Structure 1
Amino acid sequence: MDKIRTGIYVSGDVLAECDDYCTKQDISRSELIEQALKLFLATRTIYTKSNVLVPELAECIAQASDEGITKISKGLFRYAVEVEMLIAILAGVFEVSKNELKDIRREAVNNVRRTRGKINLDDLITRNFDEGIADDE
């Protein structure tokens, strides 16, 4: 692409700031001005076409959001099915009073809050095993 030489008038402080930037970025003044003009023109194009771009962008964001929500919902449903199965199995094996169930729920809520949902099954088993030994003593 052929380059055209042209002259421009710029205030001294803007030129000094440009030269400082060019030195730090190791680019020429011409490269900086060309990049700045391209950015300005692109920004103007986006601004003038924003009545088309903004609704299209909003629609794309909404669609991506809906897809993400659908995936999360399906995952939560599968998870809930597995939890329901575990609860049914455990309820068939253990007899737990309503008060014991309240205590277990309170402890579970506190553990999830404390660990921010990063519960380690090994830690739970070890803790419950240690508590069982302490209760036996």
Structure 2
Amino acid sequence: MPTPDVPPPPVFEVLTEVGIINQLATAALEACLPDDLIAPHFAVLNHLIRIGDGQTPIEMARALQVPKTSFSNTLAGLEKRGLVEAHPNPKDRRSKTIWITTQGRRIREEIVSALGPVFRDLAQRAAPGTFHSLLPQLRELRGKMDALREE
């Protein structure tokens, strides 16, 4: 256990900053969500846009790092709103695959558009090129952390 006079390692400090950024980003996101949606709903819609349709719920729960039970509730809420659909898994027919609907795509785009002013303000306050230079490093860090999780 570190003592008060020994600073934490840089990896801890970086991950702390990333965690705080995540909290701030989630708060900004929640301010732009329609009343009937919550951040986990948006995370699923965004995941399906980013990674693609046809994943099983367990694959998605693992990717989003959430328990299967709470993920099932999130999916049920999205299905109820007509934002995703479940189809039989063509590989085994016992499980299902999840597909985003046209309405789900539209809602996701509306939310991203609603975040536009926040993004523009943040981009104007940051040094030029900040986000372009950070993105490759953050993707690499995410990849390494994903690899550690899989080991």
Given the two structures, how large is their TM-score scaled by the length of structure 2? 0.25
Pick the structure with more strand per residue.
2
Given the two structures, how large is their TM-score scaled by the length of structure 1? 0.27
Larger radius of gyration: 1
Pick the structure with more helix per residue.
1
